Amino acid sequence: MKLRLLGSIAAFVFVLSGVFVAGSWVPTPASAEEPILPIVYVHGGAGSAAQYETQAMRWASNHFPNVVTGIDRTSSVPATLNPMLDEFFDAVMAETGDNQIYVIAHSLGTSLMVNYLNSSPERSARVAKYINIDGATGTSCPGNPSPVNCLGIFGQGIPGRKMGDNNVYFPDQSHTQTVTSEQSFVEQYRFLTGKVAATTLVLPEPPGKVEIAGKVIDFPANNGADGATMEIWEVHGNSGARKDSSPMAIIDIGPTGEWGPVRVNGQKYYEFAVTRPDTARITHYYRQPFIRSNYLVRLLSSPPTSPIIINTATGPDHSAAVLIRYKEWWSDQEGGSDTLWITTTSPTWVDDPHYPPTLNLLGNPAVAPRLPTIPFSPNKIGIHAFDAGLDKISTLAPIPFFLAQTFQTGVDIWMPATDPPDGTISFTNEPRGDTSRPQTVNVPNWASDDHRVSIQFNDYVQDINTWGECKRAKPSPCK
């Protein structure tokens, strides 16, 4: 296992004015030298370490000089998981030379960590502090024989929940948002360090100094996609088309799924094309530029027997995409909803009577409701978009199978496609109705019979997104 140090950045002096801090928790006065221990994130159901990538970059932006990482659980059964956590935690401490760690857990991961911390004195002794996010509750912190110092963070407007005596509440934040938000980072940083974070920004690095690394893993099992091949292509930001005739890197994926680190330019766009030995389908992954080093990149793959693949309609005339953001999509909050515009350009199909105009994928309130209307309907992170009826008609109706899945939803939309691609599909997210800071990712209109597209949007928006913008800011947070 290879762990990357995320705190090795140049020191800077920057105080963010107007940091929003919510909640009622008052930190215990810190000692003069608070331990600087490794941080490990333990995800919930159908999750991965990817849910902590933004916070890991915020820790690095605050010059945290230790490992910030996450485990990709392959089990939720304590008898199997607890030894897995032992091995992972011990490997982190062996890498850093520390004898304890900090643990941050979310959702189902909190129940698993409560079991772990209560299971033996040896396990409890590994964890110096524990943050319990939007999951298990208790009148006291877990631990054996003594409670571990803990903080509870809760969202979704559900009152009365607590984990021990120190608790912070974000009633207007959704389930995964309570992990990834800047307000949550403020509280996490203060609890673990006893200090106020200098910044909640993901600070850009010089474009040529950005590294990325991660895994290709099966969703939701989190097994490595053994035998897969990943190609990394630099692409044009305005179209997603490849710039060169050959990829900048070809990486064979082994049993752990790990790859990298790879040096990229923090102002450019990239495609990750993954082929698997068990299918002819190619999955193309696209993201916004990597503005600083990121070692928790997760490319979620699916074997051909996956219900996701089986329930995705495919064909030569339309694209199929999944859009991911680790901050829930909301479609039923009127002015407080997200907007997700899709525009397809395809010269081959432009004269078709059903050729789609620009459409808001979240225009139907039933697609991603904030509050439950049917079992599993809230907390939508991944949106599957394709022509469900294979009729070249965009109804924007929810696709029942995906709507019924935890953290997933689906929308019937026709995105005209050809093989090879003859045009571009533009995905523009206006987060939570904020039209002033849209996020756009452009991709080729790959035909879904042999190709699948995955787009991940940042779960944050900020005004400083390039090294140049950071250097020009007064005062500059980038030194």
Which residues are within 8 A (CB) of 280 and not within 5 positions of it... i.e. 6 or more apart? 450
Instruction: Mention every residue, 6+ apart, whose C-beta is less than 8 A from residue 201.
Output: 16, 58, 61, 462, 464, 477
Same fold, 39-193 and 311-448: no
CA dist 60 and 292 (Å) reads 9
Element (H, E) at 190: helix 182-193
Taking the C-alpha atoms of 90, 91, 95 and 96 in order, what is their torsion angle to the nearest 10 degrees? -30
Q: How far apart are CA 357 and CA 361, in angstroms?
A: 12
Three-state SS across 258-315?
EEEEEEECCCCEEEEEEECCCCCCEEEEEECCCCCCEEEEEEEECCCCCHHHHCCCCC
Give residue 459's pLDDT: 98
Q: Is 122 helix (H, G, I), strand (E, B) or coil?
A: helix
For residue 12, the model assigns a pLDDT of 24
DSSP one-letter code for 148: P
* Nearest-5° Cα angle at 250, 273 to 306: 40
Report the alpha-carbon distance of residue 181 to residue 165 in Å, rounded. Answer: 22
Q: What tokens were used for 429?
A: 């997210």
Q: CA angle at residue 220 from 57 to 180, to 5 degrees? A: 25
Partners of 132 in beta bridges: 105, 152
Give the residues across from 168 on adjacent strands: 153
Per-residue confidence (pLDDT) for residue 398, from 0 to 100: 97
**Amino acid occupying residue 350:** V
Give, as one character, the DSSP assignment of residue 194: S
Residues 6+ apart with CB under 8 A from 417: 316, 317, 318, 319, 346, 445, 446, 447, 448
Phi, psi of 55 (to 5 degrees): -65, -35
Place of tokens 């941050």: 104
Q: Does domain 39-193 have CATH number 3.40.50.1820?
A: yes
Work out the angle at residue 62's Cα, subtended by the Cα atoms of residues 60 and 64, and round it to the nearest 5 degrees: 60
Q: Which of 466, 65, 39, 475 shows the shortest CA–CA distance to 292?
A: 466
Predicted local distance difference test score (pLDDT) of residue 434: 85
* Rounded-to-integer distance, Cα 410 and Cα 254, Å: 31
Determine the Cα–Cα distance for residues 224 and 378; give it in Å rounded to an integer: 28
| Helix 78-96, helix 108-119: angle, nearest 10 | 80
Tokens of 110: 């909190």
| Dist. CA 264–CA 289, nearest whole Å | 9
What are the residue ranges spanned by the domains of the chain?
A: 39-193, 311-448
- R_g of the chain computed on alpha carbons: 22
Strands 294-301 and 210-218: parallel
What is the per-residue pLDDT for 479? 80
CATH domain 311-448 topology = Immunoglobulin-like (2.60.40)
Q: In angstroms, rounded to a whole number, what is the distance separating the alpha carbons of residues 55 and 184? A: 9
Please state, in angstroms and rounded to a whole number, the distance separating the CA atoms of residues 475 and 81. Answer: 47
pLDDT for the residue numbered 308: 98
Alpha helices in 17-151 (DSSP H): 53-61, 78-96, 108-119, 121-126
pLDDT 10s digit of each residue in the chain, 479 long?
A: 333 333 322 222 222 222 223 333 333 344 446 799 999 999 999 999 999 999 999 999 999 999 999 999 999 999 999 999 999 999 999 999 999 999 999 999 999 999 999 999 999 999 999 999 999 999 999 999 999 999 999 998 888 899 999 999 999 999 999 999 999 999 999 999 999 999 999 999 999 999 999 999 999 999 999 999 999 999 999 999 999 999 999 999 999 999 999 999 999 999 999 999 999 999 999 999 999 999 999 999 999 999 999 999 999 999 999 999 999 999 999 999 999 999 999 999 999 999 999 999 999 999 999 977 665 568 999 999 999 999 999 999 999 999 999 999 999 999 999 999 999 999 999 999 788 999 999 999 999 999 999 999 999 999 999 999 999 999 999 98
